[in-house]
Structure 1
Amino acid sequence: MGNTAREAVLECTYLGPVLSTNSDAVIAVTGAPVEVKVNGEPRQQWSRLLLKAGDQLSFGVIQGGTRYYIAVQGGIDVPEVLGSRSTYSLGAIGGYNGRKLEAGDVVPVGAPLNGGKLPRPDTVPEEFLPVYAKEQEVRIVLGLYDHRLTEEGLGNLLNEEWKVTPVADRMGLRYSGPGVKWKEREQPFGAGSDPSNIVDAGYAVGSIQIPGGTQPIILHRDAVSGGGYAMVGTVISADMDLVARAAPGTATRFAAVSLDDALEARRDLAERRNKAWGALGASR
């Protein structure tokens, strides 16, 4: 596209839109595998596509994962809010009028960068494509409250299989499985009555809570920033995109790693991303 990382794209969850262009455009569709069609004809995903004014872009059924993305040369031209062009629909801020797109909306597109010069190649190399698997291992750093689980409870969290439920969105993902057990204790003033409750505290992105000991919840990008549930672990930053790609039914195992392991994984991911950007001749 010739864009930088600051240009906005469209995010589509499960079902895609039908879009028409009122001028020539350069686009690419990435993310979860889905059939891309221009004027009803199949086109390649993860490749640059040239659209003429009046062309219609539509999509088939998603074949895995949950979300795919439509990028356009110049980016979606919406103002930055708090340093971002993304939409936070729960707070009705950012993006296109703080909400999801609706039929009849006309989405503004920014001017192409670098005089419209396009980088080479025009297709993302296969080695850089993400994997959309039906099974995942998600790495976590234990704490701050893993000590409040019984030995059996912690064993269930780390040694048993969990599955993503349909209750999953940008705020968080809920997992079904064997459940865990909390140690009984006298709750402090200001905390709820359940052993999974704490006095309100801040949540990191990726925090794992298990209200009532039943279903773990991973807090994702649009989650609340604090509350009264104990955090037994945090998904490492390098695996947060992996979690975001998980569709309902995805079998998941949680693996405890050290903070040093988490930092090394983050460095490895950054290196891989830089290689991908370099292979596409793109700038950050």
Structure 2
Amino acid sequence: MAFEIKNPGLATTVQDQGRVGYYNVGIPQSGSMDQYSAELGNALVGNPATDAVLECTYLGPVLVSDADAIVAITGAPVEVKVNGETQPQWTRLQLSAGDELSFGVIQGGTRYYIAVRGGIDVPEVLGSRSTYTLGGIGGLNGRKLEAGDVVPVGAPDGDLPALEVMPEPFRPTFAKEQTVRIVLGLYDHRLTDTGKANLLNGEWKVTPVADRMGLRYSGPGVEWKEREQPFGAGSDPSNIVDAGYAVGSIQIPGGTQPIILHRDAVSGGGYAMVATVISADMDLVARAAPGTVTRFVAVSQEEAIVARKGRAELKTKAWEAVGAKP
């Protein structure tokens, strides 16, 4: 079976858990920005967690199924419509051949996900079906969807889970305020005491300059220690000689607006990384719409590892709650 795209929406792409193992040669992991929401969509339709879904940004697509299909819409709150009639999110839905799936105005967050039983069946590129539009690889011809595209769906494998609805306790929230945990370093020593205090005690807001590469924040700014810039570094106080970036790195060019690097970010460059968002909170960051108030809290690497384990346990409990296996 397949979906025919009548209207692609703003930026709809094929994504899965990401392309791991190529960051050292400049190819980012990509994958669903909000991995947790995408994975729970797969749980509801009886897919493995690794199956590809459609990621919809703000304005979703209008698509028609050419055969009977089972779908679930998870992630940011949005009106879901089948043939113009409103349907619930976080619930398994049955489409008949010829049915039209469309969406209203997003009501919070930035992205929601269409999981379909059998998974989106585009070819794997470097071990993933995820779309990396800047590099033109993965997904459907390495780009976001366009009107007239036909998106193939794979054959189901396994039974449907017992429950059709994801219980409320396992659904993520899309609040207008967030607390994001970070591990300081590698270059936090370049900040003055005031600069570090501003980073950790200040109130930051997500700006409209936010995409799959990263999110820019406005706020009190930070101060950098004065120094003679080393050979090879630029004149900006946040410049360094080139270094590799961890996924989730926080840069503050010019000391004014922090940038959190996300799923499609470059793997290296000449800005100092003052901290890194812990892996357990990367989905949280992805849910932040422009204007979201954010506070950064420093944690240790040991605490970050515990949080990562907790995130994995929550996912497992969510899958078990509906009778599915990750």
- Which letter maps to 1:174? R
Alignment equivalent of 1:47, drawn from 84, 91, 96 = 91
Alpha-carbon distance in structure 1 between the residues aligned to 2:107 and 2:198:
31
The equivalent residue for 1:212 is: 254
Q: Does 1:162 align with 2:204?
A: yes
Note if 1:230 corresponds to 2:266: no
1:173 maps to which residue? 215
Task: State the alpha-carbon separation in 2 of the partners of residues 276 and 79 from structure 1.
Answer: 29
**Alignment match of 1:246 (pick from 275, 288, 301):** 288
Show CA shifts across 1:19-76 (max 9, x none). Answer: 1111111100000000000011000100000001111111000000000000100001
Quote the residue 1:92 is aligned against: 136
Provide, for residues 86-133 of structure 1, a one-character-per-residue CA deviation record: whole Å limited to 9, x for no partner: 10011000011100000111110100112xx31110110111000100
2:263 corresponds, among 221, 224, 246, to 221
1:14-93 map, 5 Å? 14-93=58-137
Any idea what the Cα deviations from partners look like across 1:166-190, whole Å, max 9, x if unmatched?
0001100000011111111011111
1:268 maps to what in 2? 310
Tell me which stretches of 4 or more aligned residues in structure 1 moved more than 6 Å.
none
Aligned-partner residue type, residue 225 of structure 1:
S
* 1:3 partnered with 2:65: no
CA distance in 2, matches of 1:81, 1:182: 42
Q: Name the counterpart of 2:41.
A: none
Query: Which of the numbers 241, 245, 249 marks the counterpart of 1:199?
Result: 241
Describe the SS at the equivalent of 2:316: helix
Structure 1 distance, partners of 2:132, 2:162, is 33
Structure 1 position 281, deviation (Å): 2.0
Tell me, what secondary structure is at the counterpart of 1:119? Answer: coil
- Residue of structure 2 equivalent to 1:282: 324
Separation in 1, partners of 2:245, 2:61: 34
State TM-score, norm by structure 1.
0.98
In structure 1, the gaps of 5 or more residues are none
Shift of 1:280: 2.1
Between the aligned partners of 1:240 and 1:134, the Cα distance in structure 2 is 16
Task: Measure, in 1, the Cα distance between the counterparts of 2:125 and 2:300.
Answer: 35
Q: Tell me the residue number matched to 2:56.
A: 12
The one-letter code matched in structure 2 to 1:87 is T
What are the equivalent positions in structure 2 for 1:87-166 lying under 5 Å apart? 87-114=131-158, 117-166=159-208
1:187 and 2:229 are equivalent in the alignment: yes
State the one-letter code of the partner of 1:208. Answer: I
Question: Normalising by the residue count of structure 2, what TM-score does the alignment of the two structures yield?
Answer: 0.86
Mapped to 2, the partners of 1:19 and 1:255 lie a distance apart of 42
Q: Give the structure 1 partner of residue 25 of structure 2.
A: none
SS in 1 for 2:304: helix
Secondary structure of 2:78 counterpart: coil
- Name the amino acid aligned to 1:241: D
Which residue identity is paired with 1:18?
V
Structure 1 CA distance, aligned partners of 2:315 and 2:46?
16
For residue 58 of structure 1, give the secondary structure of its aligned residue in structure 2. strand
Q: Which amino acid aligns with 1:96?
A: L
Q: Secondary structure at the match of 1:60?
A: strand
CA–CA separation in structure 1 for the residues paired with 2:161 and 2:314: 19
Q: Tell me the matched-pair count.
A: 282
Q: State the one-letter code of the partner of 1:56.
A: E
Query: How far apart, CA to CA, are the structure 2 residues paired with 1:194 and 1:163?
Result: 23
Q: Secondary structure at the match of 2:314?
A: helix
Identical counterparts, % of pairs:
79
Tell me the SS of whatever aligns to 1:156.
Answer: helix
Distance 1:193 1:57 in 2: 52
CA-CA distance at 1:2 after TM superposition = 1.3
